[in-house]
Amino acid sequence: MSILEMSHVSKAFGGSKALSDIHFTVEEGEIHALLGENGAGKSTLMNILTGVIPADEGSITFLGKTYPNPSIAQMEAAGIAFVHQELNVINDLTVADNIFLCRELTNKLGLLRKKEQIQRARELFENLGVDIDPTVLVSELKTSEKQLLEICRALYADAKLLILDEPTTALSNNEIDHLFGILRKLKEQGKSFIFISHKMPEIFAIADRYTVLRNGEFVSTGKIADTNAHAVTSDMVGASYVDADVYESRELGDTVLELKNFSGTGFENVNLSARRGEILAFTGLAGCGASELMQTLFGVLPPLSGELSVNGKALHGSSVKFMKNGVGMLPANRKENSVVPDMSILENYYLAEHEISRNKPFINRGQELRRYESHKEMLHIKADDCENSIGSLSGGNQQKVFIARWLNIGADVLLFDNPTQGVDVGAKAEIYRLILEFAKEGKTILINTLEIPEIQKVADRCLVFYEGRIVKEFKHSEVNEHDVMLYSTNAI
Amino acid sequence: MKKNKSFGETLSKAWSQYSFIFVMVIVMVAYAFTIKSNGNIFKWSHIAAILGSQNTCIVGTMALGMALVIITGQIDLSIGSSLVLTTGVTIMVFNTTDSIPLMILAGLATGALCGAINGLLVGLAKMPPFVVTLGTMLIYRSLTLSVVRSIDPAISGSSSSQFAMNSKNSNYEFLRMKFGTGKLTLGSFSIPYITFVFVLMVVIFIILTEKTKYGKSVYAVGSNEKSARLAGISTTWVKISVFILTGLMVGVGSILQACKIGNVTPASSGVSYEMYAIAAVVLGGVSMAGGKGKIIGVIFGALSYTTINFIIVSIPALSVDIQDTFQGLVLIVVILVQTIGPVIKESFRRARKKRLAAK
């Protein structure tokens, strides 16, 4: 018997279709894997289900009741709980207080019946085989325990269907096994789960059925037992189209960047070398360690062990030291990590260069303007007046300003972490063109990206990360979405 | 983008950027009316009194440092107390050495040390600036109090409750009479000498914030610390350095205090100066959230505050006790206008859109 049935669900944001005519059903007592690449429409579908955003068309039936315009409160009351990837527990309250948050047990005077809350929480944990002390502060729990706490909280509220959004991202293998044990137990009690994950081995270990979405469209559904990782990956990726190839191979120069047994926060034992004029891509799932590696290569995070050398010189210390040796990093998440919102375009452009030219403490405006104009022309930055606020530019042009920031320090090793995030299609193509141009000029470029077509467009080599280690290296000609996905989900 | 803007738009833009000038003009006009209603004529000497007041020069000088601290998104509550401590040291050094260079050096060094202690606790120990400077606010004043109680009157220059400049020293006459309370007279205009020190500090700070690479990094840290760090800026050092600069300005303030007033009373001098400085900074258009604001605004903020004091003193029906009420009101009204101004403008714009749509 299906407890949830979503049919003909469509949703558009502005002009672009996020979901079109989706069918999605969940049976009672099953774990249903919802699969798809980033941007496939999984989150939109879940947001519609939990009443966060309204659907344009389609119907939702849960436990035999139809919800034409569900609100968040309605769906919660109906028994659907969303366990978010970023955990929504309150660190400064005790475990029991968290479980009873907003539904506290009180006496006639409105005071808390603390003992009873703790007792009930203990019973709940015992039932589930969870070993957490209800009286400790949540801040003292491990991430996996917080995850379990959130699940317990949803169950205490009598949830029938739990949505788990990448619940294993922060967990170790033992913790994952523990979590799965509890999920199986709950499944037997008739609870249902929607399990969102990118990791193939997990999906095949825990899920009963699956549904694949791609670009907002329904692709396939079926029993996990009747399929395999390759087939599911193909469904997720599709026969993807790589448009006009601008890539051409280049003569590579000497080794510029070399890592030997390099370990740091989030990655370990990385060995790689990159040559002058080479474009190297890192890829993997979110949290695979590639972004952390980039930050360590720029002195933002401290290395733990191993060797790092740039142009034959061992480097460690602050970012300024790396900048002086010709390393520049365009961080991921432009708005948070690149934009200085109260400053003008020009100021945003020259900030970094000032840090390596402090021997001249005064700003030479004429010189700054000349440099800016030349980079503006070179990168085709569309900006009226360099005194305008950085926020007046489109995402793509902002990103070009930040690329110019590093060209301005004369960087010849460029680290690009997710450079086309939040950038429109036209600007993306321009950024690819620029990357190839830089390489031709002899710069070394490292790109971390989750988008495989991006790698096919620019990279000479592609390194696939899984849980902090390089698991596979592809040459330019070998890169294809299917294989890269297999390695980054560790399906092999 | 089109260049032709309506008068209203120009005015509202000017208000949002230079509200401190409007505030000062309004306050000055109010002052002129009060003086007139008292049967006197508003003269240059009234303005000179405002310019040379300790509220303008001493608080204003310290407010320059405070502005940098606030631009980085921090706060310094200790400056009133460190002014007392630093002035105590400045006066003691003068009394014992009778040397102007040593006195200046002692003032600047002690001020910088007080600031550096704040800065290091905030920057290196990563403690919240509010708490650190609240602590040092208590410490600096109480240390000074206990010293003045127990020290030899020959060094403190006075009784057990005050540090005072020793009038028998050979440089006393120059520092107190010529410099501290003296004026530069040009025809019918005269400007107190200590005003020039304040103006010089303002000029230095304007150059520092607008023309130097360091100044830009201060704004960047306040605007988005993470982006600043990822652009290679040492955010820790920037955060420490603004406290040291504030300490240096406290040092300058202590020299002005010694020369203009001639003494300092640890129990009562400089009380609430940190609040006046913060108010001058905020009135001057610097955002408490950090990243925004101009140093030039701080002068107008400080001048407006002094003028409000003068207005209250010149109205016989009002007692000095009511002074802070008016200062508080002006602060709240100005900030209220700044925050609700855009909201009102938006509702007007919507109403007009509606009218147009209805036609």
The domain segmentation of chain A, as residue ranges, is 2-237, 255-488
Alpha-carbon distance of B263 to B247, in angstroms, equals: 20
Q: At A241, is the pLDDT very low, low, confident or very high (cuts 50, 70, 90)?
A: very low
Which residue of B lies nearest to A365 if distances are taken between CA atoms? B211
The lowest-confidence range among A106-120, A153-167, A415-429, B338-352 is B338-352
- The phi, psi pair for A2, rounded to 5°, reads -85, 135
pLDDT digits (tens, 9 = 90+) for A317-360: 899 999 999 999 999 888 889 999 999 999 999 999 999 999 99
Kindly list the residues of chain B whose beta carbon comes within 8 Å of any beta carbon in chain A.
1, 211-214, 216-217, 219-220, 222-224, 226-234, 291-292
The domain segmentation of chain B, as residue ranges, is 7-358
Alpha-carbon distance of B173 to B168, in angstroms, equals: 9
Q: Is the pLDDT of residue B295 over 90?
A: yes
Cβ-defined contact of B219 to A343 (cutoff 8 Å): yes
pLDDT digits (tens, 9 = 90+) for A77-124: 899 999 887 778 888 999 999 888 888 888 888 888 888 889 999 998
Among the partner residues B211, B219, B227, nearest to A362 by beta-carbon distance: B211
Label residues A409-419 b or e (16+ Cβ within 10 Å = b). bebbbbbbbbb
Q: Which tokens is B340 given?
A: 């609700």
Percent pLDDT > 70 in chain B is 96
Tell me the average pLDDT across A161-180.
Answer: 83
Residue-by-residue DSSP string for B36-49: HHTT----HHHHHH
Mutate to test the interface with A, among B221, B226, B292 (most CBs of A within 10 A): B226
Q: Is the pLDDT of residue B34 over 50?
A: yes
* Relative orientation angle of helices B7-37 and B295-314, to the nearest 10 degrees: 30
Q: At B3, is the pLDDT very low, low, confident or very high (cuts 50, 70, 90)?
A: very low
Global pTM reads 0.80
CA A92 to chain centre: 27
Instruction: Supply the pLDDT for residue B105.
Output: 97
Q: At A245, is the pLDDT very low, low, confident or very high (cuts 50, 70, 90)?
A: low
Tell me the average pLDDT across B149-175.
Answer: 90
Instruction: Supply the pLDDT for residue A14.
Output: 66
Among the partner residues A300, A342, A354, nearest to B217 by beta-carbon distance: A354
Label residues B251-263 b or e (16+ Cβ within 10 Å = b). bbbbbbbbbbbbb
> What is the number of other CB atoms lying within 10 angstroms of the CB of residue A483?
19
CA A172 to chain centre: 18
Q: Which tokens is A25 given?
A: 């059903």
Tell me the average pLDDT across A365-372.
Answer: 95
Of A210-224, A227-241, B73-87, which has the strongest mean pLDDT? B73-87
Cβ-defined contact of A341 to B231 (cutoff 8 Å): no
Q: Residue A61: beta bridge partners?
A: A5, A66
Per the listing, tokens 């940098």 go with B68
CA nearest to B161, candidates B139, B136, B144 = B144
pLDDT digits (tens, 9 = 90+) for A395-417: 889 999 999 999 999 999 999 99
Check if the beta carbon of residue A72 is closer than 8 Å to that of residue A249: no
Chain A residues whose beta carbon lies within 8 Å of the beta carbon of residue B236: none
Q: List C-alpha distances in Å: A353 to A369, A444, B209, B221, B290.
A: 13, 19, 17, 16, 23
Chain B residues whose beta carbon lies within 8 Å of the beta carbon of residue A417: none
Alpha-carbon distance of B139 to A474, in angstroms, equals: 64
Residue-by-residue DSSP string for B196-242: HHHHHHHHHHHHHHHHBHHHHHHHHHHH-HHHHHHTT--HHHHHHHH
Q: List C-alpha distances in Å: A469 to A246, A297, A306, B125.
A: 30, 16, 14, 34
Alpha-carbon distance of B242 to B215, in angstroms, equals: 10
What is the average pLDDT score of chain B?
Answer: 89
Chain A / chain B CB contacts < 8 angstroms:
82
- At B147 the three-state DSSP class reads helix
Helix (H) or strand (E) holding B107: helix B100-123
Q: Which tokens is A456 given?
A: 């096919």
CA nearest to B256, candidates B188, B200, B317 = B200
Q: Residue A193: beta bridge partners?
A: A31, A162
- At A5 the three-state DSSP class reads strand
**Two domains, one topology: A2-237 and A255-488:** yes
User: How close, in Å, is residue A338 to chain B by CA atoms?
Assistant: 5
* Relative orientation angle of helices B295-314 and B44-52, to the nearest 10 degrees: 120
Check if the beta carbon of residue A466 is closer than 8 Å to that of residue A283: no
Q: At A425, is the pLDDT very low, low, confident or very high (cuts 50, 70, 90)?
A: low
Q: Is the pLDDT of residue B4 over 70?
A: no
Instruction: Supply the pLDDT for residue B92.
Output: 95
Task: Please name the residue ranges forming H helices in A131-172.
Answer: 143-156
Check if the beta carbon of residue A72 is closer than 8 Å to that of residue A83: no
Alpha-carbon distance of A225 to A373, in angstroms, equals: 61
Chain A residues whose beta carbon lies within 8 Å of the beta carbon of residue B211: 362-363
Q: Which fold has domain A255-488?
A: Rossmann fold (3.40.50)
Of A180-184, A366-370, A382-386, which has the strongest mean pLDDT? A366-370
- ipTM, 2 dp: 0.85
Check if the beta carbon of residue A448 is closer than 8 Å to that of residue A332: yes
Kindly list the residues of chain A whose beta carbon comes within 8 Å of any beta carbon in chain B.
298, 300, 318-320, 323, 329, 331, 336-343, 347, 350-352, 354-358, 360-363, 384, 405
Q: At A242, is the pLDDT very low, low, confident or very high (cuts 50, 70, 90)?
A: very low
Among the partner residues B216, B226, B292, nearest to A347 by beta-carbon distance: B216
Give the total residue count for chain A.
Answer: 492
Check if the beta carbon of residue B79 is closer than 8 Å to that of residue B73: no
Sort strands A209-214 and A192-196 into parallel, antiparallel or unpaired.
unpaired
User: How close, in Å, is residue B230 to chain A by CA atoms?
Assistant: 7
Tell me the average pLDDT across B258-285.
Answer: 91
The CATH classification of domain B7-358, taken from the options 1.10.287, 1.10.3470, 3.40.1710, 3.30.43 = 1.10.3470
Among the partner residues A323, A340, A360, nearest to B232 by beta-carbon distance: A323
Superfamily of domain A2-237: P-loop containing nucleotide triphosphate hydrolases (3.40.50.300)
Check if the beta carbon of residue A41 is closer than 8 Å to that of residue A18: yes
Instruction: Supply the pLDDT for residue B313.
Output: 82
